[in-house]
Structure 1
Amino acid sequence: MPEAQMQIEGIGLSFGGVRALSGITFNIYPSTIQAIIGPNGAGKTSMLNCISGLYKPQQGQIRFEGQNLIGRAPHEIARLGIARSFQNIELFRHMTVVDNLMLGRHVHMRGGVLTGGLYWGPGQREEIAHREAVEQVIDLLEIQSIRKKTVGSLSYGLQKRVELGRALAMHPRLLLLDEPMAGMNSEEKEDMARFILDISEEQRTTIVLIEHDMGVVMDISDNVAVLEFGQLIAYGTPAEVKANPAVIAAYLGQEHS
C-alpha cells in the first residue's frame, strides 16, 4: 500500500452543543477515488468543509502531503493543491463557460495588475498558459459546444459539469466533490461517473466524493468511508463496506451496537 496522501486523525467538530463529527480517522491514498457515504445529517459535508478550511475542527489533525491543514484559510488550502465543488452550484451565472473556467485558474495567476494590463511579456505568456489549461478541461469534459454560452442558460446537468470543470481547472492534486450527481437523470449520472473515472485515471488526481447513489459509489470507488451521526462506522473497499453489518443496519434504519 502506498503512503497516504492525506491523513485524517481524530477529527472532532461541534457547533454549540451539537456534535457534528467525533473522532473521525482514515487515510486517503494517491490517485484513488475515496467515497464518503452515510444517511442525511451523518456529517459528510462537514468533513469536506474541515478538509477545505471552511470549518475549523476543535480536535484532531488533517495532513496533506505532510502539510497540516488545520487553521489554514480556504485560499491557502487551495494553493496547496486541493480543489472543491459544492452541493449547490456556485458558478457565475451571467458569465460564459470559458470565463467561469478561467476563474478556476486564479490560484495559479501570478501576473500583477501592471503586467496583466499591458498584456505583453510575462502577462501575455501567463494568459496563454492559463487558456491552454482551460482548453484541456473543455476537451476532457466534452463541453466544446457550450464554451461561449452563459452558464445560466445551461441545463442543470451541464452546469454541474461546468462546476466540475472549474475545480479541475486548478489542476488540483486532490479534488473534493460534494454530490456531483445530485439531481441528475440516469444518462447525466453515467456521463459524470465516466468523467470522474477519466480524471482519476488520466490525470492521476485523487478524488474524495460524497454521493448518495450507492450504485455509482460501488462502481467507481476504490475505498469507502461510512459516517453515521458524525462517527465513522466502516471503512474499506466497496465489497467490504457493502457486507458490513453496521452499514447494512444504518441504511435499513435498524439499530446496531
Structure 2
Amino acid sequence: MPALEVENVSLQFGGVKALVDVTYHIEKGEIFSLIGPNGAGKTSMLNCISGLYSPSQGSIKFMGKDIINMKPHKRTNLGISRAFQNIALFSQMSVLDNLKLGRHTKMKSGLLSGGFYWGAAQKEEVAHRKAVEEVIDFLELKDIRHTPVGRLPYGLQKRVEVGRALALQPELILLDEPMAGMNSSEKQDMARFILDMNALQDMTVVLIEHDMGVVMDLSDHIAVLDFGKLIGFGTPEEIKENEAVISAYLGEEEDEEVS
C-alpha cells in the first residue's frame, strides 16, 4: 500500500488554476521530491495534503484512508506533519518551548486530568518531554535548547522549524524548502538529517527543494509540476531524461542554484 495516493487533484482560486488534475503516489519509506519552477503549485500541493487547502476535485489517501475532508489536526494525529517554507516559530520562546509546543495536538489530558488526576497528567508530560528531547538530540540542538529562537542564525531557525514537525513523531513528514537560504555546510547537515529521518526513523519524506543536486542525490522518486500540471514522474534518472521536464525546468535551472 502506498503511503500517499494523490488522484486527479485540482485546486482553483477564482479563475486561477493552482493544480490541474494531478495524480501520483508515494511509497511508504521513501524520500519523494516535488519540484518545478516558482509558482508551479508545489506548496499548494503540500497545503492540500496537510489540510490547509481543500481541493476543488480529486482524492488524497494516506495509508489507504481518504483524508480529503479531514481537518488538519486530524491529519496530524493520523501521522502527517509539516515544516513550512517561511519560518513560523515563536521568536521570544526558547528552542525547547517551541518544540514542546509542536506536541500540542498529541496532548490527551485535559484540565480535569491536570487538576484531579495529577498522576496521569504528569506521566503524559514526561512522555511528551521524552519525545522532544529525542528531537533535540537528533538535530544536535542541545547547546541552544534554552536560547530564544529569535536570537539564532537563520540556518538554525530552519532546523528548529523542521524539529517542531519531527516532535509529532510522524509517519509522513512534509518539508517545504528546508534548505532555502542556507549555506553549503548547513545544507549538508540538513541533507544528513533528512537521510537519517528516512533510514533511522523510518519516515516517509516529501521534499520541496530547488537545489537539483540535493534532489537528485536524496530522492527515490520525483514529481515535477509546471503551471499546476504534472509533467513528469519517476526516478531521478528518468526525470533527468524527461524532455518536458528539461524544457520547462531543468534546462533553465541545471547550472544555477535557486534559493
Question: Residue 94 of structure 1: which of 89, 92, 95 is its match?
Answer: 92
Shift of residue 74 of structure 1? 1.2
Distance, in Å, in 2 between the alignment partners of 1:120 and 1:250 is: 59
Question: Residue 224 of structure 2: which of 200, 223, 226 is its match?
Answer: 226
Q: Give the residue type in structure 2 aligned to 1:224.
A: I
Give the conservation status (yes or no) of the 8 Å contact 2:2–2:64.
no
Q: Give the residue type in structure 1 aligned to 2:70.
A: R
Distance, in Å, in 2 between the alignment partners of 1:114 and 1:163 is: 32
Give the conservation status (yes or no) of the 8 Å contact 2:31–2:204.
yes
Match of 1:39 in 2: 37
Match of 1:20 in 2: 18
Q: Which runs of 5+ in 2 are unaligned?
A: 253-259
Q: Which runs of 5+ in 1 are unaligned?
A: none
RMSD: 1.1
Question: Residue 108 of structure 1: which of 103, 106, 109 is its match?
Answer: 106
Question: Residue 207 of structure 2: which of 181, 206, 209 is its match?
Answer: 209
Shift of residue 115 of structure 1? 2.8
Question: Residue 147 of structure 2: which of 146, 149, 157 is its match?
Answer: 149
Q: What is the TM-score when the length of structure 2 is the normalising length? A: 0.94
- Total equivalences in the alignment: 251
Question: Residue 187 of structure 2: which of 189, 192, 200 is its match?
Answer: 189
Match of 1:133 in 2: 131
Match of 2:119 in 1: 121
Match of 1:160 in 2: 158
1:66-91 deviation per Cα after TM superposition (whole angstroms, max 9, x unaligned): 22111222111111110001110011
Q: What is the TM-score when the length of structure 1 is the normalising length? A: 0.95
Match of 2:237 in 1: 239
Shift of residue 103 of structure 1? 1.0
1:142-174 deviation per Cα after TM superposition (whole angstroms, max 9, x unaligned): 110000101101010000000111000000110
SS at match of 1:71: coil
Give the conservation status (yes or no) of the 8 Å contact 2:21–2:58.
yes
Distance, in Å, in 1 between the alignment partners of 2:116 and 2:128 is: 17
1:18-77 deviation per Cα after TM superposition (whole angstroms, max 9, x unaligned): 111111000011111100000011000000000011111111000011221112221111
Shift of residue 118 of structure 1? 6.4
SS at match of 2:82: strand
Distance, in Å, in 1 between the alignment partners of 2:17 and 2:176 is: 21
Moved over 3 A (4+): none
- Structure 1 residues 119 and 102, CA gap change in structure 2 (3 angstroms): farther
